[in-house]
């Protein structure tokens, strides 16, 4: 008899055969308490050495006073070693020196206003149902479309179209998971916005490759 699907605010949603919770897998909405990070329901991260502070592990240069945000959609899957390098990690590189003098004799917003610091950078935005493979690095301002698969160790910058598979350093699109017209149909269905009971009732259509069947399930 399958157990009830865990609520999105469950800290450790994976239950092992012995009945214990897997400490290395967390629903992000349950463990992130950071004013500059948003994580959608059921998105999870996994680690072989789970940290006490998941925000610091995933986005170590995103500070409470940072001007940018990290936005993660629903049902994303973030593997061990993934790191989001957000815009507050940047140095100026449009002048003579890139050295951040300000951070050594100022702090917080005061430092950010100094001339040796870069202008505020863009948000980093991850769509829905994105799988980010082990050890991948997501660079400042990346915008990753829904349904994307990021290969292990990839270094991702810029905008990645929905349902692409990317890999390498710098990451490039290896192929699309679906034809362009099917991508548009899948984005219109937006199954990640359905109630969880409806999602589970149509697990076969969501996990399968028949776009028309998923459309029929969407009604």
Q: Edge-to-edge strands of the sheet including 155-156?
A: 83-84, 137-138, 155-156
Query: Of 22, 34, 91, 128, which one is the catalytic site residue?
Result: 91
Q: Give the whole-angstrom CA distance, residue 134 versus residue 85.
A: 15
Active site residue 22: no
Q: What's 100-111 look like in SS3? A: CHHHHCCCHHHH
Question: In this structure, what DSSP letter does residue 69 have?
Answer: -
Question: In this structure, what DSSP letter does residue 151 have?
Answer: P
Q: Give the whole-angstrom CA distance, residue 205 versus residue 136.
A: 29
Residues tagged active-site? 91
């Amino acid at each position: 008899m399958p157990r009830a699907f865990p609520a999105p605010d469950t800290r450790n949603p994976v239950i092992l055969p012995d009945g214990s919770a897997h400490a290395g897998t967390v629903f992000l909405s349950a463990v992130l308490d950071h004013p500059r990070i948003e994580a959608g329901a059921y998105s999870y991260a996994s680690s072989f050495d789970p940290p006490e502070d998941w925000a610091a592990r995933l986005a170590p240069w995103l500070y409470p006073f940072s001007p940018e945000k990290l936005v993660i959609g629903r049902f994303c899957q973030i593997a061990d070693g993934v790191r989001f390098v957000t815009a507050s990690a940047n140095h100026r590189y449009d002048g003579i020196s890139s050295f951040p003098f300000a951070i050594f004799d100022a702090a917080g917003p005061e430092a950010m206003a100094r001339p040796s610091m870069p202008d505020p950078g863009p948000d980093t935005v991850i769509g829905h149902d994105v799988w980010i493979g082990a050890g991948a690095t997501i660079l400042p301002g990346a915008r990753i479309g829904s349904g994307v698969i990021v290969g292990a160790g990839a270094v991702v910058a810029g905008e990645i179209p929905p349902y692409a598979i990317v890999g390498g350093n710098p990451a490039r699109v290896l192929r699309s998971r679906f034809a362009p017209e099917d991508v548009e149909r899948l984005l219109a269905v937006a199954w990640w916005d359905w109630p969880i009971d409806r999602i589970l009732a149509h697990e076969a259509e969501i996990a399968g490759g028949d776009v028309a069947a998923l459309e029929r399930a969407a009604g």
